[in-house]
Homo-oligomer: A and B are copies of this chain.
Amino acid sequence: MNHSDGTQFRRPTINDVAALSGVSKSTVSNVMRGTGSVSAGTRARVLEAVAALGYRPNATARNLVLQRTNLIGVVVGDLANAFDAELVKRIEQQASGRGYTTLVCNTGGHAEREGSRIEALLEQRVDGIALLDFTGDRAVLSQLLGERVPVVMVSCWSDYTDCVAVDDMVGVELAVEHLVALGHKRIAHVVDPLMEVTTRRARAEAFERAMLRGGVSPRSEWTLVFDPDDEDGERELMSLFSAAERPTAVAAANDYTAIRLMELLERHGIQVPADVSLVGFDGIEIAGLSRIALTTVTQPRDELAARAVELLLHRIEGDDDAPPARHRMNPALVVRHSTAPPA
C-alpha cells in the first residue's frame, strides 16, 4: 500500500487526531464513542481534526481490546438454493441493523469444508454463528460447543444450542394430508442430499407418521435422495416412476428439489400434475411463478431470520448461560397447480 510517489501510505490513527487537535488520545476516544464528558470546544476541535485527516477508527484494534468484533458468521449450505439465499439476505439485513457485519460461508454440504470455514470464523473471533442447513457433523458441532461461542441453528435442530425452525411435523403433515385428500395412496418422499441430516430425518419421520395417520402405508423404498450430480441415482429415480406400481405423488423435502424433480419428470414425459402430483417445502419465490405453480409448504422466512438474529444477539449481548431456547414456527400450505387427483 504505497503512494504513487513512493512514500508509505499510512492511515491516520487516533494518535494523529490527538496530535492535530492538541488533546490526548483518550479524549479523542471519548469523542468518537460519545462517552465520558468533553467540553463543546474540544469536541469541535477533535471532530475537525477527524474530518481533516479522514480518520476512521480501526476496528481491528478495537476488537482486540474489547474482545468483541461485532462480526457474526453465517454458515450456509448452498447459496444457489433460493431459500438459503433469501434467509442469508434477511439475516444480514437484521444483523447490520443492529450493528453487526456478516461473514458468510457457503459449505456446499461438505462436512470438511464446514469444519475449516468455521475454524476461520473462530479465528476471526466472530461474536456468534448462525448455522443454516447445518450438516450436523458431530465433530464440527462439538468443536463449536467447546468454544463457548454463541450459536443459533436455523431450520435445523440441536439439543445444545438455540434453534429456530419451522415445525417440520406440521408441515409434512399438511403436505401429506393434502395429497391424501386428493385421493393419492402411492406417495413417495424425495430429499435433497444437501439438506441437513436431522431436518431430513425429521421430515422423513413426519412423512411416515402422516402417511400412517392418513391411512396410507409408506414404503421405505419410496423415500429417496435426489442428487442432480449423480446420474445413476437419477436413472434409479426415474425407473421408480416407470414401474407398474409407481407413485402417483411426491412430497419433496424442499422446493429446490421439487422443482428440479418436476424438470426431470417432464423431460422424461411424465407430466405434473397429470401423471404425478408434486408438493414442495419452503415457499421460495419462483415456486409461485404461474409456469411453475408449485404447491408447497411455506416457511415464514422473515420471522425465521428475525428470530434467529434476536436469539443470537441476545446470547451475545446478554445472558450467556441461559438454557438453549427453541422456537418453532408454523408453516402453511399453499395450494397451486402441481397437485391434482391421481389419474
Contact = CB atoms under 8 A, between A and B. Distances in A.
Contact of A103 (B2, B102, B321): B102
A117 B96 contact: yes
A303 interface: no
B88 A101 contact: no
A92 interface: yes
Nearest to A146: B54
Interface stretch (A58-66, A181-189, A205-213): A58-66
Interface in A94-133: 96, 101-106, 108, 116-117, 119-125
Interface residues of A, number: 57
A123 B78 contact: no
A296 interface: no
A35 interface: no
Contact of A285 (B4, B59, B80, B102): B80
B289 A57 contact: no
- Quick one: copies of this chain in the complex? 2
A60 B56 contact: no
A285 B82 CA distance: 11
B71 A79 contact: no
B285 A263 contact: no
A37 interface: no
Contact of A79 (B4, B79, B105, B119): B79
A85 interface: yes
B85 A80 contact: yes
Interface centre among A1, A2, A56 (most CB of B within 10 A): A1
Nearest to A117: B96
A236 interface: no
Contacts of A93: 106, 108
A121 B101 CA distance: 8
Given A59-B123, A82-B82, A101-B105, 13 more contacts: A1-B320, A60-B63, A60-B124, A69-B124, A80-B86, A80-B285, A85-B85, A93-B108, A102-B105, A263-B290, A263-B291, A267-B290, A291-B291
